[in-house]
């Protein structure tokens, strides 16, 4: 799947909201635009902070609710990335994450072999997959070589 343009994402969001009798507000559209333009895996707090520097006031509650709506539409996915809060990213293609416990670096991995293994394990256990997220937490080469480990999350 290709990352949607803002126009495509807005159409999908408008359709989703209309089907549920919800309004498509300028705040929701601003949140959508901010997430689509963000490079990486922002948290709700990061999105709220970024929007607070602009001309439009968007409450944190609206940011959290809208991010949940964007996940429901399939436009975004969320994961914890080894932390106690969620991070969001545009749903483009499935991938998993390697997360450095020391510096917080996130490496996206795409592995057809890993997907096949997960499918086989589910089939062997007569388990129907709805979704999955794999996060491998450890230390990146930069932190290992510099031995700058911090026990984040412990």
pLDDT tens digits for 26-72? 999 999 999 988 877 888 999 999 898 888 889 999 999 999 999 88
What are residue 80's phi and psi, to 5 degrees? -90, -20
85 domain-assigned: yes
129 domain-assigned: yes
19 domain-assigned: yes
Cα-to-chain-centroid distance, residue 76: 6
pLDDT reported for residue 7: 93
Q: Looking at the structure, do residues 79 and 115 belong to the same domain, yes or no? A: no
If we measure between CA atoms, which residue out of 68, 67, 103, 64 comes closest to residue 82? 103
Nearest-5° angle of CA 149, CA 153, CA 154? Answer: 80
pLDDT reported for residue 153: 42
Q: Which residue has the higher pLDDT, 7 or 133?
A: 7
The CATH number of residue 37's host domain is 1.10.10.10
b/e sequence 51-74, b meaning 16+ C-beta within 10 Å: beeeeeebeeebbbebbebbeebe
pLDDT at residue 21 tops 50? yes
Q: Which residue has the higher pLDDT, 107 or 80?
A: 107
Tokens 């948290």 correspond to: 43
pLDDT reported for residue 148: 54
pLDDT reported for residue 81: 65
Range of the domain at 65: 6-90
pLDDT reported for residue 82: 63
pTM recorded for the entire structure:
0.66
């Amino acid at each position: 799947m290709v990352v949607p343009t803002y126009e495509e994402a807005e159409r999908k969001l408008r359709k989703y909201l209309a089907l549920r009798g919800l309004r498509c507000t300028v705040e929701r559209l601003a949140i959508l635009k901010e997430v689509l333009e963000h490079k990486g895996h922002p948290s709700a707090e990061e999105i709220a902070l970024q929007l607070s520097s602009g001309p439009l006031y968007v409450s944190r509650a609206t940011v959290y609710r809208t991010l949940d709506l964007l996940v429901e539409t399939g436009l975004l996915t969320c994961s914890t990335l080894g932390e106690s809060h969620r991070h969001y990213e545009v749903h483009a293609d499935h991938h998993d994450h390697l997360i450095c416990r020391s510096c917080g670096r996130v490496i996206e991995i795409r592995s057809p072999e890993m997907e096949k293994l997960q499918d086989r394990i589910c089939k062997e256990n007569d388990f129907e997959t709805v979704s999955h997220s794999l996060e491998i937490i450890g230390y990146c080469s930069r932190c290992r070589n510099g031995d700058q480990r911090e026990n984040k999350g412990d």
